[in-house]
Structure 1
Amino acid sequence: MDKLISWFRNLCKRKEADEGKSLQQKGSSAAEENASSYGSINGGDTGGASCAPCSSSASRGSVTCPTCQGTGRIPRELEQQLVALIPYGDQRLKPRRTKLYVSLTVIICLLMTGLMMYFLFPRSIAVVPSGLNASSIAFDNSTYSITLNLTNALNVTNNNFYTVRVAQLAIEVLHKALVIGKNTVMTQLDIRPLQDAQMLYSVSCRILDNNTYNICTWSRIKVHNVLLHIQGTLTCSYLAHTEQLSFENYQYVDCRNNIMLLGMS
């Protein structure tokens, strides 16, 4: 009976000793995990960081970190070469107001594109003949010919939001479908945005026609008008682009008194 009681007491003491050892092991493992979690990567003092946590964790089915070899530290020369992994649920991977910023960027880009297209889109350049500015007439009785020196005005309107340069003006004067005068004027006229300018050009014409000579010289005829057909081409350049604008005009010239009558265009 006494042996049975002593055996029972020894069994209880062994159980208490085993429970105490298990609690002590759990406390030491928790302390080691906390120490390893606060290990420094820049070479600072880490307190209890050592290889012991890694050995204990390896015994529980884990492996040693291949970078720090279980020390909790990395060499300073490898600080700029190693890559840190961020958890997928980290808030840094989910920036706020992303849709707002993307929408604002798209709207601003569309607005800038629309404004550029509006201001840079080519618009028409209006070329309107203004009529005769001055003239002089000479007669050749031996050849029954008439020499007309005309100075006409031309209005050019720039409807664009950028400067237009007028480089060349080519003029032809016709009388009864025959070319009686030509001239090419080279100029460097700059027309500002939404502005207009006036150009003057001179053409020397010679008419070899007996009927026209008689109309201009006979005193019995009260109306001394000569109908001229003027055709021209204006060469303009803007935004590295060259454009040719054509125009034409009909005008009556009084070949007796050097007076221009009402023209039609």
Structure 2
Amino acid sequence: MVTSWKNSKATEGPDVTKDTEKVKTLRQFPPYGAMNGNSTGDTCPTCRGTGRIPRGHEDQLVAVIPCNDVRLKPRRTKLYVCVSMIVCLLLCCLFLFFLFPRSVILTPVSVLSVMVYFTPNAVEMEVTNLINITNENFVPVQIIQFSLQGLISDSVVGKTKISNMSAIQSRSQQSYTVKIDLPISDKGLNIYCKSSSIKIHTLFLELQMTMNISYLAHTEQVSLDTFEYIDCGNNSTVPHPVR
């Protein structure tokens, strides 16, 4: 009897030892799910405690990542965030630099010609001017309409409008010739311009220029007043600069 009891104890010893180790392991690391459904832990959200994944639900797997996984603590996070902020700030500065509205400058250059025609009751003149338009933007500028009116002694004597002027490319300057007809019906000015005793018949002409332009999805108006002198007694085809 003693021998059989020792043999049975020796036979059951390894199984008891394995069960004890298993219990200790389960206490330290509780199971997430079990096939027999008797687990004391939480049910696995993927296999629902069965230990198997239902067919057709392979794309709904749930990965359980430990809190000490290095993937949850990426390296150089601050460096990446700072670099991203600097790149975004640089792009914003470049965007504002190239698309910030700049001025469009209208400049009179010279009087190209003055053609004078005498009629019994008036003096008709055709004055041709050269103007420069400078675009300082990084985008093309479209000229919608250009208006010009001439005044002599604060009286409007002629008007003209041009609506077929070509666009001005970015960071460029373009020259245009503008003609305006000036019929003078004032008796005193007629006598002055037709007098043969006077060699130079100088008139001071005031030009009021208005230009409507469009760029960067908005319209703008540029205006300029300038003064120039012309000879109303003779034809003049020699250009002279506007002062």
Match of 2:103 in 1: 124
SS of 1:76 mapped into structure 2: coil
Q: How does 1:33-182 map to 2 (within 5 A)?
A: 51=36, 62-63=40-41, 65=43, 68=47, 72-141=51-120, 143=121, 145-182=122-159
Matched position secondary structure for 2:166: strand
Residue equivalent to 2:15 = 24
Structure 1 CA distance, aligned partners of 2:240 and 2:56? 96
Displacement of 1:88 in angstroms is: 2.2
Change (3 A) 1:88 1:182: same
Q: Using structure 2 for the length normalisation, give the TM-score.
A: 0.81
TM-score of the aligned structures, taking structure 1 as reference length: 0.75
1:14–1:65 CA distance, 2 compared to 1 (3 A): farther
Mapped partners of 1:216, 1:208: distance in 2: 11
Q: Contact conserved, 1:252 with 1:262, CA < 8 A, in 2?
A: no
Query: What are the ranges of 5 or more consecutive residues in structure 1 without an aligned counterpart?
Result: 1-9, 38-48
The higher relative CO (CA closer than 8 Å, separation ≥ 6) is in: 2
Change (3 A) 1:125 1:181: same
Shift of 1:201: 1.4
> How far apart are residue 251 of structure 1 and its match?
0.8
| CA-based RMSD | 3.3
The 1:97/1:226 distance shift into structure 2, 3 A limit, reads same
Q: Give the aligned residue type for 1:131.
A: S
Q: Measure the CA separation in 2 of the matches of 1:50 and 1:156.
A: 85
Structure 2 counterpart of 1:26, one-letter code: T
* Structure 1 residues 151-207: Cα deviation after superposition (integer angstroms, max 9, x where no partner): 111100111111112221111111111110011111241211111001111111111
Partner of 1:217: 194
More helix per residue: 1
SS in 2 for 1:170: strand
SS in 2 for 1:80: helix
How far apart in 2 are the matches of 1:227 and 1:195? 31
Match of 1:166, SS state, is strand
- The C-alpha deviation readout for 1:132-159, integer Å capped at 9, x for no partner, is 1122111223x2x211111111100111
1:230·1:250 contact (CA, 8 Å) conserved in 2? yes
Over alpha carbons, which structure has the higher Rg?
Answer: 1
For the 8 Å contact 1:231–1:248, the answer to whether it is kept is: yes
Q: Which runs of 5+ in 2 are unaligned?
A: none
Q: Which amino acid aligns with 1:27?
A: K
